[in-house]
């Protein structure tokens, strides 16, 4: 059995009977059969169903947001926004997939030569709990519109969300077996990746898990896309609007109660404005209300699991032991639930966990820098390369640093890192490879086939 628990109370929510290996074999065969029909449907036919899925998301927004709040502790207002973003990505690909995948004519000596894009088949998606709807729809919308079919291995603590996603696609008219949620544990994943009926794998999750999945897929030469961890640096230059920067940084650090790969995590601040930024960030983060995620007044919900809560505290305590200074939070509150408060550490240096490791919770690390060059070096001093931001009132200067100096998949100027269906999203270094969203995302799981006619 797979069990889900309410992170606000710690109580059991539900239990699900696991699919066996033979069940999964049947689902994979059914997915391949469904693929042979689905890939032949026109773009307009597939788009009609994906748009219907978007409509159903909006119709069911309140119940879906409540389910996320109960299963993984997402503040319900943020849950509403997540559902709306899922509808957005469905509509984006319904409207743009055909244009993204149209034949690309290439002039050669032949009478006709072009690139044609064919879907690959069943794509296994291994998805995390932190954005239990968005992570799935940002894979599923382009994959389905391209003519692929999907097999979802969701995180065990968001199994209810997984089944609701499957239900939405079915209710939207997408044929059965074009999208199937597998109720399985992690030890069953390897055999599914190795199954010849699975064409490709996409994973959003931690770097260690991504490395294992990529290694397994590599043994059978299967295409993979990996969106892994991040330790996003935000550089606050001496000419930044400090109050604006602090407001944006607080929002970026505390989104989803800090549980985001692209959350702002390391704030690299020039010495000349460090004290001012510390106070401004303290003022902003102190305003966020922690509490029951089902209440619309809540800004910070519980952490998804107790082990995650405990890991945050270990990172904070160890960093303080090595010389970091605590400005806010840093204590596990009394009472039920897996809560951790908004926390700020300053005077953070290399060798401290909050500098070296990914902090997947509401913990902000302020890192001093004397010069622009030092700030850039510290921003790049990480194994990760998912997102980054630069704050300065000199837009030309900030854009130059973002464009030329920061090693990351995305870099924003005077704003939080965020994903957008219209722009490619992904990382470099230990943050993964491949891209999701935009034209680049839909082309990850198609065969760019060369056609030459003499």
Query: Which residues are identified as catalytic?
Result: 227, 261
Structure tokens belonging to residue 233: 């640096």
Three-state DSSP class for residue 226: strand
Residue located via tokens 């066996």: 20
Instruction: Compute the distance between CA of residue 420 and CA of residue 92 in angstroms, rounded to an integer.
Output: 10
- b/e map of 39-68 (b: 16 or more CB within 10 Å)? bebebeebbebbbbbbebbeebbeebbbbb
Residue located via tokens 């509509």: 91
- b/e map of 259-293 (b: 16 or more CB within 10 Å)? bbbbbbbbbbbbeebbebbbebbbebbeebebbbb
Residue located via tokens 């059978």: 220
Structure tokens belonging to residue 344: 């700020």
Cβ atoms within 10 Å of 447's Cβ, excluding its own: 15
Alpha helices in 6-128 (DSSP H): 21-38, 43-59, 61-72, 76-100
Instruction: Compute the distance between CA of residue 304 and CA of residue 361 in angstroms, rounded to an integer.
Output: 10
For residue 361, which of 348, 342, 346 has the smallest C-alpha distance? 342
Is the CA virtual torsion 420, 62, 75, 250 positive or negative?
A: positive
Cβ atoms within 10 Å of 118's Cβ, excluding its own: 14
Three-state DSSP class for residue 135: helix
Structure tokens belonging to residue 369: 């820098």
Dihedral angle, C-alpha 247, 249, 250, 256, nearest 10 °: 130
Instruction: Compute the distance between CA of residue 158 and CA of residue 68 in angstroms, rounded to an integer.
Output: 8
Antiparallel, parallel or unpaired: β 2-5 and 12-16:
antiparallel
């Amino acid at each position: 059995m797979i069990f889900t628990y309410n992170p606000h109370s710690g109580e059991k929510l539900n239990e699900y009977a696991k699919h066996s290996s033979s069940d999964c074999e049947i689902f994979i065969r059914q997915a391949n059969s469904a693929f042979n029909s689905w890939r032949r449907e026109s773009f307009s036919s597939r788009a009609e169903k994906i748009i219907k899925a978007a409509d159903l998301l909006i119709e069911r927004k309140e119940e879906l947001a409540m389910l996320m709040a109960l299963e993984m502790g997402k503040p319900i207002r943020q849950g509403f926004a997540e559902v709306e973003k899922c509808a957005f990505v469905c509509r984006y690909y319904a409207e743009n997939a055909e244009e993204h995948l149209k034949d690309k004519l290439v002039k050669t000596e032949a009478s006709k030569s072009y690139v044609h894009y064919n879907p690959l088949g069943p794509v296994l998606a291994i998805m995390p709990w932190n954005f239990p709807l968005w992570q799935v729809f940002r894979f599923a919308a382009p994959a389905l519109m391209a003519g692929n079919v999907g097999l979802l291995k969701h995180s065990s603590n968001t199994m209810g969300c997984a089944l609701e996603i499957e239900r939405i696609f079915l209710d939207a008219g997408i044929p059965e077996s074009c999208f199937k949620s597998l109720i399985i544990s992690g030890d069953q994943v390897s055999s599914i990746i190795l199954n010849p009926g699975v064409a490709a794998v996409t994973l959003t999750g931690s770097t260690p898990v991504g490395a294992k999945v990529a290694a397994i897929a590599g043994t059978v030469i299967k295409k993979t896309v990996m969106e892994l961890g991040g330790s996003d640096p935000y550089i606050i230059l001496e000419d930044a609007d400090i109050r604006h920067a602090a407001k944006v940084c607080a929002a970026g650090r505390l989104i989803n109660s800090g549980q985001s790969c692209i959350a702002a995590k390391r704030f690299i601040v020039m010495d000349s404005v460090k004290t001012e930024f510390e106070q401004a960030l303290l003022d902003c983060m102190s305003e966020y209300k922690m509490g029951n995620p089902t209440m619309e007044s809540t800004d910070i919900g519980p952490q998804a699991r107790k082990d995650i809560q405990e890991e945050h505290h270990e990172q904070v305590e160890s960093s303080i032991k090595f010389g970091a200074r605590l400005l806010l939070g840093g204590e596990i509150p009394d009472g039920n639930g897996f809560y951790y408060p908004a926390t700020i550490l300053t005077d953070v240096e290399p060798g401290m966990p909050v500098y070296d490791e990914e902090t997947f919770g509401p913990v902000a690390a302020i890192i001093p820098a004397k010069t622009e060059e030092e700030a850039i070096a510290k921003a790049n001093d990480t194994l990760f390369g998912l997102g980054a931001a630069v704050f300065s009132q000199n837009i030309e200067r900030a854009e130059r640093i973002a464009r030329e100096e920061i090693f990351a998949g995305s870099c924003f100027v005077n704003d939080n890192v965020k994903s957008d269906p219209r722009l490619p999203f992904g990382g470099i270094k230990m943050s993964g490879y491949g891209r999701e969203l935009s034209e680049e995302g839909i082309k990850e799981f198609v065969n760019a086939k060369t056609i030459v006619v003499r």
